[in-house]
Every structure is written in structure tokens, then in C-alpha cells.
């Protein structure tokens, strides 16, 4: 029951943070949205900052566990990278609220404790993918490449599609605000593109 209530609060907080931002969201509004009392929210998370950090840690921590488990599998470096791309592409289109929260903080001109916290958590996930690529370079599966910029290419494609969605919709001739279009057209297309790109860039002839 305790974990169920905590999850309710985090789901409500994620929704409200994405709609109104951190400053525009109150702990009372989160409690009301979650159907719990304010005392319970404060007991579990201590403050609005605590709720915010918990949302970030849950989303990025869950993804990190998946990436980490892939990197430990007894399969080729290329198969690991394919799995990472597959999971990544699935997740980036499945939670628009979460990506709004990330973009809202990272687009601010001045860095804040929250943006620094998000960046620190994101880098842990970036490092998991970077580790898979570097493993392939080390064992000879992949060519010697700029690992950091290769990772930036993967993440940069996602940022373009989600954060410049009007322009990307025209470029792809697909409505990126339509969830069905994202699922049935854009996501499979993105997976094929990233794998084709990475195969040509990384794999030895």
C-alpha cells in the first residue's frame, strides 16, 4: 500500500510538473491530483523538491536499470546496442509528460539545482550506452570512432523530433502530435534509421 500511494503521488506530480512547471505546481495541487492528503505527501517526500527529485530518479533510474542489464548480457556488442536503441526509441515516445519536464528545465538560460540534478541523472544513462559502444571498439567489433559524438547523434535525433516537432512533422510528412502516427510510423522509422546509421558508422566492413 505504501509503494502504491507513493507511485500515485509521483504520477500526479509528473503530470502537473509537465503542465505548469516546477514553480507553477504546489504540493497541495499534487496531493489533490493524487487523491492523498498533504501530510502523506510530506511524509514520503518531505517537500516539493523531494517530489521532483523522486520523479526524475524514478524515470531515469528505471531506464538505467534496463540499459545496465543489457550491457551485462552475454551477447555481441552490436546486439547490445540494437537492444539499447530499441528500448530507447520505445521510451521516448511513450511519456510526453516526462519529456516536457526535462525540456522545460534544460531550456532555461540559467542553470539551477534542478537542471544540474537532471543532467547528472541523464549522464548516468548516457554513460551506459557509451559503455556499450566503447566495449565494441575495445573488442574489435566496432571501428575506432568518436564515442561521445556517436552518443550525441543518438540522443540528438530524439531531441530534434520531440522539441522541434512542428518542423520535424513537415520534414517527415507526419504529424508528430498524433500518438497513433508516432507509434505506427515514426517510431519504427526512427529505429530503422538509427540502426542503419550506427551500422554504417560503427561496424567493420
Nearest to 56 by CA among 124, 150, 148: 124
Q: Which of 50-59, 104-113, 168-177, 188-197 has the lowest mean pLDDT?
A: 104-113
104-119 confidence digits (pLDDT tens): 777 666 667 878 888 8
Domains, the chain: 1-46 (1.10.10.60), 49-202 (1.10.357.10)
Residue 203 pairs in a beta bridge with 142
pLDDT of 165 > 70? The answer is: yes
Nearest to 118 by CA among 38, 52, 180: 52
**Tens digit of each residue's pLDDT (9 = 90 or more) over 51-100:** 999 998 988 888 999 999 999 999 999 999 999 999 988 887 776 667 77
Taking the CB of residue 91, how many other CB atoms lie within 10 A of it?
16
pLDDT digits (tens, 9 = 90+) for 129-143: 999 999 999 999 999
pTM for the model stands at 0.84
Q: Give phi and psi for 142, each to the nearest 5.
A: -110, 155
173 versus 164: the higher-pLDDT residue is 173
**pLDDT, averaged across the chain:** 89
Give the pLDDT of residue 126: 92
Is 178's pLDDT higher than 80?
yes
Mean pLDDT, range 31-52, rounded to an integer: 93
H helices present in the chain, as ranges = 2-20, 27-34, 38-45, 48-71, 77-94, 96-106, 113-139, 147-163, 165-172, 179-181, 187-202
What's residue 115's pLDDT?
81
Amino acid at each position: 500500500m505504501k509503494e502504491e500511494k507513493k507511485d500515485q503521488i509521483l504520477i500526479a506530480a509528473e503530470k502537473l510538473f509537465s503542465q505548469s512547471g516546477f514553480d507553477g505546481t504546489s504540493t497541495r495541487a499534487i496531493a489533490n491530483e493524487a487523491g492523498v492528503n498533504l501530510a502523506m505527501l510530506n511524509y514520503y517526500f518531505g517537500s516539493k523538491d523531494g517530489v521532483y527529485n523522486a520523479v526524475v530518479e524514478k524515470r531515469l533510474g528505471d531506464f538505467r536499470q534496463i540499459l545496465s542489464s543489457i550491457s551485462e548480457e552475454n551477447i555481441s556488442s552490436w546486439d547490445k546496442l540494437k537492444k539499447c536503441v530499441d528500448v530507447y526509441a520505445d521510451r521516448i515516445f511513450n511519456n510526453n509528460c516526462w519529456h516536457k519536464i526535462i525540456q522545460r528545465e534544460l531550456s532555461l538560460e540559467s542553470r539551477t539545482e534542478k537542471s544540474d540534478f537532471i543532467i547528472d541523472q541523464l549522464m548516468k544513462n548516457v554513460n551506459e550506452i557509451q559503455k556499450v559502444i566503447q566495449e565494441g571498439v575495445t573488442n574489435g567489433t566496432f571501428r575506432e570512432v568518436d564515442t561521445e559524438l556517436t552518443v550525441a547523434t543518438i540522443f540528438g535525433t530524439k531531441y530534434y523530433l520531440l522539441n522541434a516537432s512542428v518542423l520535424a512533422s513537415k520534414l517527415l510528412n507526419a504529424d508528430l502530435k498524433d500518438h497513433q502516427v508516432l507509434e505506427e510510423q515514426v517510431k519504427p522509422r526512427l529505429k530503422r534509421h538509427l540502426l542503419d546509421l550506427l551500422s554504417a558508422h560503427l561496424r567493420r566492413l
